[in-house]
Amino acid sequence: MAAFPNLLPIINALPEGVVIISRDRGRIVEANDAFLRYTGFTQEDLLSAHFIDLPFFAKQVRRNLIRLYIRALHGRKEGETLAVEYVAPDQTLRNVILAASRFVFADRIYVAFVLREEAPDASSWGNCLHLTYEPYMEFHPSELLMPPQDLDDRMSFLKLAGRVLRVKYANSAAVDLYGGQGGSLTGRPFVSFFNNTDDAIRFLDMLSVVGQMKAETAVASRGGLPAEVEMKCVVRFGSRGEIAALYCSQRDLSGARRYEAIIGGSRVEAEFTFNQPFAGLAFLTPPHPLERPEAENVDNIIDIMLEQIMVMRANQAMISIYGSDNTKFLMKPMRDLFPDAALARQVLKELFVIKTSSVAIYSSGEDESSDEETLSHVLIFRATFDGADRMNGVLMTASKHDSDYQPRHSNKKNEEQNEEEQSGEGHSEEKHGGEEQNKRKAERRRTERRKNRRTPPPA
């Protein structure tokens, strides 16, 4: 990339990984050789990439990275560091310490992140994990677990691993999900967290060979009730190939299941409903559940949320309504779905209050001298909330519309009607006469269009 030709030889001589990012939404402009060794990327891979979007950063880590970046950008880092655990290119689990600092080059402000490999402080790392939404658990074996070479002994090994891999650490979210005794899960075996023992064996079979696995499964949550989660696990192998530790996090799928329930009972019915060609459908979701905004600075908070809520799924009808394609429409912010910011802000406010909102889009008449408007299409929104009354998704439906339209919020018609009712009778009579004239003009245009459709084309 060579954004800093005089600086690159210096940072390449450092043993720590160094990556320099700009103020342009955190784009990477330079990385030294040590950083490439840490991550397995090439300079071409990192060209104009966003630092927090690198795939080895988990969702809970990214939020802390953003906070560290902002504090460094404004010169308020005060020696703050962040411990990160990731899977290295050789498929081993590594611990690094991230520090950020601000510097100015050619009148531009940059932030440099330094990665130093070091075992994180246990208490600091635990405090960080306790702040995350996703359940996280660390398992250590109570005896040596060496995967056997003989396939005949494999099932016995997997059953043994399910019993002797026991929880050494679990964050607060994991304790809430599984209902630990006395607020702790320490000592519970790996197999006890699954609703079906065969699912635990399936995970361990893959993990002992590949070292990592991600799949949907059913777990035995608090009170013994089954819960559907996406479980991600990574193994740390010892020097002799034994299983030294197992790290697992779970993502609750109840929000996705509620979305499927909204649009249909079974999966087949849901797919049929979602992909039908007559109305556009889309599902939007924020990166994490959103709290209802306070009255103070509500517009600023709403504007931030409108950039965070993204289109995660959309059918072809919705994509064609916006004249886009699948790659450009997905991950589009909710703000970009409206012709102006005020309209988007009003809709999101209503979703937080009554969970539903709608916007009517009107197109102008064919005769430019006429004030007549024709309803073009309607956008309807429905928000979903979790048990803590936080918004976790928005379902959107729309009909097709013409290219020439004027936006209008659903309540605007009512406001105009109230103003007209308060006007004098003379004005009402004059308006009534004008409406009759407009209706006659519209009828003449429709008759002319029907006549033109019946006229055969010239030979």
Sign of the four-CA dihedral 27, 313, 376, 338: negative
Q: Closest Cα partner for 1 from 27, 40, 25?
A: 27
> What tokens were used for 166?
């026991």
Return the CATH number of the domain spanning residue range 8-127.
3.30.450.20
Alpha-carbon separation of residue 28 from 59, 282, 434 (angstroms): 19, 32, 62
Cβ-based burial of 407 (10 A; exposed 0-12, middle 13-18, buried ≥19): middle
Residues 6+ apart with CB under 8 A from 391: 286, 289, 290, 292, 351, 352, 383, 384, 385
Cα gap 372→375, rounded to integer Å: 10
Question: What does the pLDDT read at residue 50?
Answer: 81
Edge-first strand order for the sheet with 310-314 is 310-314, 280-285, 391-398, 373-385, 356-364, 406-409
What pLDDT was estimated at residue 82? Answer: 78
d(CA 347, CA 217): 36
**Helix/strand/coil (H/E/C) assignment for every residue in the chain:** CCCCCCCHHHHHCCCCEEEEEECCCCEEEEECHHHHHHHCCCHHHHCCCEHHHCCCCCHHHHHHHHHHHHHHHCCCCCCCEEEEEEECCCCCEEEEEEEEEEEEECCEEEEEEEEEECCCCHHHHHHHHHCCCCCEEEEEECCCCCCCCCHHHHHHHHHHHHHHEEEEEECHHHHHHHCCECCECCCCEHHHHECCHHHHHHHHHHHHHHCEEEEEEEEECHHHCEEEEEEEEEEEECCCCCEEEEEEEEEECHHHHHHHHHHCCCHHHHHHHHCCCCCEEEEEECCCCECCCCCCCHHHHHHHHHHHCEEEEECHHHHHHCCCCHHHHCCCEHHHHCCCHHHHHHHHHHHHHHCEEEEEEEEECCCCCCCCEEEEEEEEEEEEECCCCCEEEEEEEECCCCCCCEEEECCHHHHHHHHHHCCCHHHHHHHHHHHHHHHHHHHHHHHHHHHHHHCCCCC
Cβ-proximal residues to 8 (8 Å cutoff; 6+ apart), any chain:
2, 30, 32
What does the domain layout of the chain look like in residue ranges?
8-127, 133-252, 255-420
Q: Cβ contacts of residue 442 below 8 Å, gap of 6+?
A: 365, 370, 372
221: Cβ contacts below 8 Å, ≥ 6 apart: 177, 178, 179, 227
Instruction: Give residue-wise pLDDT tens across range 323-376.
Output: 778 778 888 899 988 888 888 999 999 999 898 998 876 666 555 455 566 776
Tell me the one-letter amino acid at 327: T
Q: What is the CB-side half-sphere exposure of residue 33 using CA atoms within 13 A? A: 7
Looking at residue 349, its pLDDT comes to 92
What gap in Å lies between CA 116 and CA 178, rounded to an integer?
A: 35
Q: Hey, which CATH number is domain 255-420, 3.30.230.10, 3.90.380.10, 3.30.450.20, 1.20.1730.10?
A: 3.30.450.20
Contact 145, 242 (CB under 8 A): yes
The answer to whether 329 and 388 are in contact (CB under 8 A) is: no
Give the CATH number of domain 133-252; options: 3.40.50.970, 3.40.50.40, 3.30.450.20, 3.20.20.10: 3.30.450.20
Find out whether 333 and 308 touch, Cβ atoms under 8 Å: yes
| pLDDT in the model for residue 32 | 87
CA distance 44 to 284: 32
pLDDT tens-place string over residues 249-306:
888 776 655 555 554 445 566 666 777 777 888 999 998 889 888 877 888 899 999 9
Pick from 64, 76, 213, 184: nearest CA to 131:
64
Residues of the chain with pLDDT under 70: 1-6, 25, 48, 56-60, 77-79, 87-93, 118-133, 180-183, 223-224, 254-272, 361-373, 376-377, 401-439, 441, 445-459
Antiparallel, parallel or unpaired: β 310-314 and 391-398:
unpaired
Q: Give 3: exposed, middle or buried? Use CB within 10 Å, 0-12, 13-18, 19+.
A: middle
User: For residue 381, how many C-alpha atoms fall within 13 Å in the half-sphere facing its CB?
Assistant: 29
Could you check whether 8-127 and 255-420 share the same CATH topology? yes
